[in-house]
Structure 1
């Protein structure tokens, strides 16, 4: 496969609103040991992307400018590092990447999965971050069949995959979401509850047997009441709210060193795909040049499904 010396990417050279994102030409990186170079076909847009862009994560996620966002992608292997034997040029894959808002991006060869022929590029790009996060959270909570899990923000991409993986494992799931997304949650096998004022009364009514564990994927000040509902902080995990989690003794899981569950997560998500039960809708697919519009849409929140960019 012929690889150009330069290609399009989207980057920002300072923190700010979505208008700091610029389409540019940059050198195509060469894969080093353990890496592959992907010709990106679709890249997922995650809330972390715009939080980093706005400078909200500077203390824990500093970046060098210019910075190309993008944590996950689907694409075709264009070149491989000298020691990579698992992949060859032409292979269709999905997984985590570095700088995915680009026509070409580097990926860790060991964390990629083969893209099934019947899984579209857009849907494939929407999977890696959500699958890893959901699998990491469920592993931390240690649920067993017959237990009940409460998922805050259950209709989001991470929440939806958590619901599906938990239900497949025999766990009863109660999920908070806006009323417009309740049919989606029912289709996944969850018991939907409207979020907002009074939601914990509604949760108790929906789960009279009690709740064994709680996953917070919302970050909307729900942890204190979640700890009370679960009978303590031991089986409450937040993926999004370290500030509230710490004082309550709740585990915050940010996917740092030693926590990564990408390989297991992708295996579980692709197993759902093979069983024809995987449901992770794509909310919008926009051209790479419209990355600013994608960020604005992501910042609005509350939408059902993942936003992807198409280089």
Structure 2
């Protein structure tokens, strides 16, 4: 038998329950699928939103279901057509993935069935916990800064929430792209965020960020906080600049952007094994570090959700089956 977290109703963290389930049968793997023994599963805000009935709950296929899309582990079996390629994927390979989103991937489990096209190999220097924490947050930062904003060397980039899961990776990626990086963070995280490559870190509890940037606007704003930060983000951007909102663009933000000549966009992250492998290469090359502030056993998934919902975590949280 194996174990996984599942829920039979929407609600608070208490709806998450640890249950025994049969181990997946490798004979059931479809074309291009890979069975992975999970060593770490990242915990993300979309997990908590979906648990409550928001997020992508409408795509879970009914109760019971299992949240989680970030997986790191070891290949236990290969389905038809999987493996044998140039990347050397084989049984025993260490892999990680942001898989099947926005459909159910059931990452909070001892085993997960992934698509080979969505996974990447874990570099030797990377721990299982770091690999479990990187995929969704890292791909979000990469796709927003590279695919959407097309950040260029010398551009000024403002990252709200520089101490969070997406934020701390975005700071490093923007720095690696050659941008001048300004990040907001709470007082206790400012020095750490600066050490990641931010050229300026603004303590949002003490500084009026909009006033401080009014006469020196930025080219790109990545707003990992969203919500009420939308209009202030627009106010920090130069005409022709880009504001990226992770939780959607409100009508108020749209109006402010139109008036200011700013492009305000929402981008939903998508799985991409090639991009994830590039992030893995950045980690291997010492250009990207994944901060995992706490690891929870699978049975304490509810506690991990409470921590994420507190909004006070640093970097990433992971579950360890």
TM-score using structure 1 length? 0.89
Which string of whole-angstrom CA distances, capped at 9 and with x for unpartnered residues, describes residues 179-226 of structure 1? 11101111011111122572212344xxx6431111111124122232
**Larger deviation, residues 21-30 vs 148-157:** 21-30
The residue number in structure 2 matching 1:275 is: 285
Matched position secondary structure for 1:212: strand
User: Which residues of 2 match residues 1-311 of structure 1 at below 5 A?
Assistant: 6-29=1-24, 30-57=28-55, 61=59, 63-85=61-83, 86=85, 87-97=89-99, 98-138=105-145, 139-190=147-198, 191-196=200-205, 198-204=208-214, 209-232=216-239, 235-244=242-251, 245-246=253-254, 248=257, 250-255=264-269, 260=270, 262-311=272-321
Deviation at 1:272, TM superposition (A): 2.6
Contact 2:98 2:119 in 1 (8 A): yes
Contact 1:80–1:88 (CA<8 Å) still a contact in 2? yes
Distance 1:141 1:202 in 2: 23
In structure 2, stretches of 5+ residues that fail to align are 100-104, 259-263
Give the Cα separation in 2 of the matches to 1:99 and 1:261: 15
Q: Is the 8 A contact 1:193 1:203 kept in 2?
A: no
Task: Determine the C-alpha separation between the residues in 2 that align with 1:209 and 1:201.
Answer: 10
Q: Contact between 2:32 and 2:82, CA under 8 Å: does it hold in 1?
A: yes
Cα pair 1:165 1:268 within 8 Å, conserved: no
Check the 8 A contact 1:131/1:262 in 2, yes or no.
no
In 2: Cα distance, 1:54 partner to 1:290 partner: 17
Deviations 1:58-116 (A, max 9, x none): 67655421111111111011111111124321111111231110000011101211111
218-227 or 236-245, larger mean C-alpha shift:
236-245
- Contact kept in structure 1, 2:40 and 2:71, CA below 8 Å: yes
Matched position secondary structure for 1:221: helix
Q: 1:265 to 1:193 in 2, by over 3 A?
A: farther
Once residues 116 and 53 of structure 1 are traced to their aligned partners in structure 2, the CA distance between those partners, rounded to angstroms, is 32
User: Partners of 1:212 and 1:305 in 2: how far apart?
Assistant: 25
| Greater alpha carbon shift after TM alignment, 178-187 vs 233-242 | 233-242
Paired with 1:59 and 1:15, the residues of 2 have a C-alpha distance of 9
Please report the TM-score for the alignment, with normalisation by the length of structure 2: 0.87
Specify the SS of the correspondent of 2:286. Answer: coil
Contact 1:148–1:212, Cα closer than 8 Å, also in 2: yes
Q: Call closer, same or farther: CA 1:108–1:233 in 2, change over 3 Å.
A: farther
Greater shift after overlay, 138-147 or 59-68?
A: 59-68
CA–CA distance in 1 between the matches of 2:159 and 2:120? 27
Q: State the match for 1:3 in structure 2.
A: none
